[in-house]
Amino acid sequence: MKLKNIFLILSIISFVATGVIYPYLPQTIPAIWNFSGEVEQYFHKAYVFLLAALPFLIYMLIWLVPKIEPKRENYKKHKKAFEAVILSVIVVLLVRQWYGILISLNYLSDIHLPMKLAVGLLFIIMGNYMTQIKHNYTFGIKTPWTLASESVWQKTHRVGAYTFFMLGILWVAASFFHHRFVSFVLIALIIAVILFLFVYSYFIYDKERKNKIKNSN
């Protein structure tokens, strides 16, 4: 059986199991935590069905994206990378859902460690596969300049692979430090990486544009 089919079965089992355990949940469940690990908002317990449906909906992208992607031939070349990232996102969603349920039932009290580990591993996997992503419109680092130039796309994803991988390592390492400041730093790092890659793609594009003008004169 293919790995992606196993994840489909897990997503369905998770949804069914959520329905089985639903009557035992309190009327309101913790939904949003702050950087200190304290619950900031509680939602009605029906919220668990939304969380339970997300893995299946994300899985559907494996079927949908190839049908709507204008550059289908390129998609075929990075199909393995796309599926690896999608399945990793599903793992993060399943961890979030079931840790939330266990916390609601008072079996666990902390969601920060598993979530930080899961997100860190997601970044590592994304970094590992990023150089395999071919020029397309639905998957990868999409800026006006990466979409306009395949060479800018390749260079940006090459740098992005290193930055996402290192970001993942830092998230995994920071998972064992339960401090508000650490959480702020991790969020700041994500923003910094996104801004860096955005600006980097512009400068690479601008450099190529100037070189073309120079060579044409």
The model's pLDDT over 130-161, given as tens digits with 9 standing for 90+, comes to 999 999 999 999 999 999 999 999 999 999 99
Task: Report yes or no: 62 and 82 within 8 Å, Cβ to Cβ.
Answer: yes
pLDDT at position 35 is: 67
Going by pLDDT thresholds of 50, 70 and 90, the confidence category of residue 181 is confident
Residue 33: beta bridge partners? Answer: 39
Give the least confident one: 15-19, 55-59, 203-207, 210-214: 210-214
**Phi, psi (degrees; rounded to nearest 5) at 39:** -70, 125
Averaged pLDDT, 6-12: 91
pLDDT at position 34 is: 73
pLDDT at position 2 is: 78
Averaged pLDDT, 165-179: 88
Handedness of CA 91, 95, 96, 98 (dihedral sign): positive
Task: Report yes or no: 156 and 143 within 8 Å, Cβ to Cβ.
Answer: yes
Task: Report yes or no: 126 and 168 within 8 Å, Cβ to Cβ.
Answer: yes
pTM score over 0.85: yes
Report how far apart the first and last C-alpha atoms of the chain are (Å, whole number): 58
pLDDT over 70 at 88, yes or no: yes
Averaged pLDDT, 185-211: 93
C-alpha 116/C-alpha 120 separation (Å) is 6
pLDDT at position 206 is: 94
pLDDT over 80 at 203, yes or no: yes
Stated as kind and residue range, the H or E segment containing 33 is strand 28-33
pLDDT at position 36 is: 65
What does the pLDDT look like over 90-127, one tens digit per residue? 999 999 999 999 999 988 877 888 888 999 999 999 99
Listed in sequence order, the residues at least 6 apart from 117 whose beta carbon sits closer than 8 Å to its beta carbon are 171, 172, 175
